[in-house]
Every structure is written in structure tokens, then in C-alpha cells.
């Protein structure tokens, strides 16, 4: 598939993904959230349905496709109302791009095809206990000893961190600052790697971990790209992550709107359906207004992305969109819970789950404050 894909193909793809979500994901989301995990076999099912390999080169088992197609897949998976499921099932979307773009051919062949088949899980590890968004100051180190890298340090809040078979790891191989950072592919069974699951406010079914590297030994050939050039690759990777997070946030906002509208039509108070009260209708219209503006902004940035029109202005707009989209999600989750009333406080409703998951969306991939500063810098403000 290419960027010339027509509307009929897009509609057919959306229908296919929707059927998969309705069959394999939506009926199980509540149980998976309560269990704080989901079956590993879902990766292979999602791969067989064509979801894991979207946007990756054909020679590694992927399906080259425009961002519009990835946007559709994200929107449809969001309909199940579980950010935790989405985060872990698609953790490869932030782990593999640096390997595909900068890794050696041997490394690509070893890692990418099994992940795209759903046989292996990939994770990205950048955030550390001592710092999050300030990537240039990361402290986890890797030093060369013969034909190996010896890694020492910690990472935290790592999605798919416990189950990952491959970890795209940001380390310091040089001096201070951005110029001393590299990326290394670390196997999940590497000696010296310790993993601890983390308990969270939301994203319960997502595997989130703290990683400790105690003189962890990795072959020299696992370096991704040139030594001390990892910072730029990390920054490039953030663009894709933030764009898809914005798509997901808009999707979750829509889920909240849909659930609130359905409840307002069914629930009767003071002899009339909730939706017949002006205050409720206004809440719903406020939600719809914010969703529409987010989607319009998304459509423009996705179109520019697929046309290769990605410059500093585009990056600035993306940073601001990420804030706008997650604020839309926050607003809609809050309003939906209010409309649902007591039911909105009950576990099992989508709005309750999304309400718990809002903050990680506003922080992950770059906190709001960082997004504003980056946008201002890109615009020369």
C-alpha cells in the first residue's frame, strides 16, 4: 500500500480492523485490565490481522503504508477503550523505528521480522529514575570491553519492559550532553538485566517495568547506528510517537462521548431522558466541539507527514497538537464520568478506565510543559 491508497481501500481496512477489535479485544478488555495483563498470543493474532507490520518495509515482513493507515488502525483499536492494551500491543512502534532507520542489516534481520510476526515483543527504554524528558542528561552508561558493551544503570516506566524480547536502549557512551548518547539493542535474556513490574494508576493491563542493568553484557554489533549519534534518532522517533498518541487521545475522547451519549439517551431523571436536559446537551456539544477540532488538526498534520512536508513548523504544530489532543481526552473523560454519574465511577465502564488513563497520555512522549517549550523553540519564539 502507498500514499495513493483510495478511499475504498481505507474503508475496507477500517472495517477489517474493526471486526478484529470487536472479536478479539473489546470482549476481553475488562478482564484483562483486572488481571493486569493480556495474553501474549494477542500479538500473533494482531500480526496475522495486519496490524503489527503497518508502515514497515516489506523485506522485513511489514506492509509499507502511509500514516493515514496507521491512524485508522489506532482509531479502531482505541474503540475498545483501553490505553494499556494499546500501549503494550504496539510498543514495537517506538522500539523498532530506530533499528529500521539506523541499525545494521544484520541487526534488522535478527530483530524486526520476528517482532512483526508477533513472535517477539520489542520495547523502548529511555526514561530514568532521575529524569524523564531531559534525554540529553541520561545517566545509564555503556562502555566497551573487547567485543562487548557493558551496560550499567536503570530505566523506569518502560512499556513492555517485563515481557520484551528486545529493548531499544538509550545509553551514554561518550561525554556529557546529547553528543554522548547512543542506542543499543539489548536482548531480554542478556546477563545482568533485572526487571521489576510497576503498579500504576491506569493502563493496568499494560506491562510497565523498572529495568536495572548490573554490568549487563551485549555484543558490540548490537549498537544501533554510529556511536554517540543516538540523540538525533531519539528525537526523530518522538515525532511518530507523539503523532500516534494524539490519534489515540482523539479516539479515546470519542469513546467517552459515545458512551456518555448512549447513557444520556437511556437514563431517565425527573421523568425525562438525561439528553433532554439542556445542561447535558451542552456538555455533549462541548465534547463534540473539542473532538472535531482535534481531528481537523490531526488530518492536516497527517497529510503533511505523508507528503514528506515535515519541517520545524510541523514539529512545533505536532507538539501543540499533542497537548490539545490529550487535553481533549481529559475534558471528555471528565464530562463523560459526570454524565454517567455513579455508573461513571464504577469499574467496567470505558469512561472510568479512560479517566484513570488520561494523565499518562499527558505526560508520556513529552509532558505538556516540555511540548510548549519545544514548540516555542522550533518557532523561534
Domain residue ranges of the chain, discontinuous segments joined by +: 7-116, 122-227, 232-378
Q: What are 223-234's pLDDT values in tens digits?
A: 999 999 999 999
* Confidence band, pLDDT 50/70/90 cuts, at residue 127: very high
- Tell me, what's the pLDDT at 68? 93
Q: Are 348 and 30 in contact (CB under 8 A)?
A: yes
DSSP assignments along 17-51, one per residue: HHHHIIIIIGGGHHHHHHHT---THHHHHHHHTT-
d(CA 125, CA 45): 25
Instruction: For residues 78-99, give the mean pLDDT.
Output: 97
- Tell me, what's the pLDDT at 2? 42
- Give the mean pLDDT of the chain: 95
d(CA 14, CA 109): 30
Q: What is the CATH number of domain 122-227?
A: 2.40.110.10
* Confidence band, pLDDT 50/70/90 cuts, at residue 4: low
- Tell me, what's the pLDDT at 1? 39
**Phi-psi domain of 198 (left: phi exceeds 0; alpha: psi -120 through 50; beta: other):** beta
pTM of the predicted model as reported, rounded to 2 decimal places: 0.95
Minimal CA–CA distance to 94: which of 71, 123, 74? 123
CATH domain 232-378 topology: Butyryl-CoA Dehydrogenase, subunit A; domain 3 (1.20.140)
CATH for 7-116 (1.10.540.10, 2.160.10.10, 1.10.760.10, 3.20.20.100): 1.10.540.10
Could you tell me where the beta strands, DSSP code E, fall in 188-270? Answer: 193-197, 208-219, 223-224, 268-269
Amino acid at each position: 500500500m502507498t500514499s495513493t491508497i483510495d478511499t475504498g481501500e481505507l474503508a475496507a481496512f477500517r472495517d477489517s480492523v474493526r471486526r478484529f477489535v470487536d472479536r478479539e479485544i473489546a470482549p476481553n478488555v475488562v478482564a484483562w485490565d483486572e488481571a493486569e495483563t493480556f495474553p501474549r498470543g494477542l500479538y500473533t493474532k494482531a500480526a496475522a490481522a495486519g496490524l503489527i507490520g503497518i508502515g514497515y518495509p516489506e523485506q522485513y515482513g511489514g506492509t509499507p503504508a502511509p500514516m493515514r493507515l496507521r491512524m485508522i488502525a489506532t482509531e479502531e483499536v482505541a474503540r475498545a477503550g483501553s490505553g494499556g492494551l494499546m500501549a503494550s500491543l504496539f510498543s514495537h512502534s517506538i522500539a523498532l523505528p530506530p533499528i529500521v532507520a539506523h541499525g545494521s542489516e544484520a541487526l534488522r534481520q535478527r530483530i524486526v521480522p520476528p517482532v512483526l510476526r508477533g513472535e517477539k515483543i520489542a520495547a523502548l527504554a529511555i526514561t530514568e529514575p532521575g529524569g524523564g524528558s531531559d534525554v540529553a542528561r541520561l545517566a545509564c552508561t555503556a562502555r566497551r570491553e573487547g567485543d562487548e558493551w557493558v551496560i550499567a544503570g536503570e530505566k523506569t516506566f518502560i512499556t513492555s519492559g517485563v515481557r520484551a524480547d528486545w529493548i531499544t536502549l538509550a545509553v551514554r557512551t561518550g561525554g556529557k550532553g546529547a553528543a554522548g548518547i547512543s542506542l543499543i539493542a539489548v536482548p531480554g535474556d542478556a546477563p545482568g538485566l533485572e526487571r521489576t513490574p510497576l503498579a500504576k494508576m491506569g493502563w493496568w493491563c499494560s506491562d510497565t517495568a523498572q529495568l536495572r542493568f548490573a554490568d549487563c553484557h551485549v555484543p558490540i554489533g548490537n549498537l544501533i547506528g554510529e556511536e554517540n549519534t543516538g540523540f538525533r534518532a531519539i528525537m526523530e522517533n518522538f515525532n511518530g510517537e507523539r503523532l500516534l498518541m494524539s490519534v489515540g487521545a482523539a479516539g479515546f475522547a470519542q469513546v467517552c462521548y459515545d458512551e456518555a451519549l448512549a447513557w444520556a439517551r437511556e437514563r431517565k431523571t425527573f421523568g425525562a431522558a438525561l439528553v433532554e436536559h439542556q445542561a447535558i446537551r451542552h456538555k455533549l456539544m462541548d465534547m463534540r466541539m473539542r473532538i472535531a477540532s482535534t481531528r481537523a488538526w490531526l488530518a492536516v498534520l497527517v497529510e503533511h507527514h505523508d507528503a514528506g512536508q515535515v519541517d520545524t513548523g510541523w514539529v512545533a504544530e505536532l507538539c501543540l497538537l499533542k497537548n490539545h489532543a490529550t487535553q481533549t481526552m481529559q475534558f471528555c473523560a471528565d464530562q463523560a464520568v459526570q454524565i454517567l454519574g455513579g455508573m461513571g465511577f464504577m469499574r467496567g465502564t470505558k469512561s472510568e478506565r479512560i479517566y484513570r488513563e488520561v494523565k499518562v497520555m499527558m505526560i508520556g512522549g513529552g509532558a505538556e510543559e516540555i511540548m510548549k517549550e519545544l514548540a516555542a523553540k522550533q518557532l523561534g519564539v
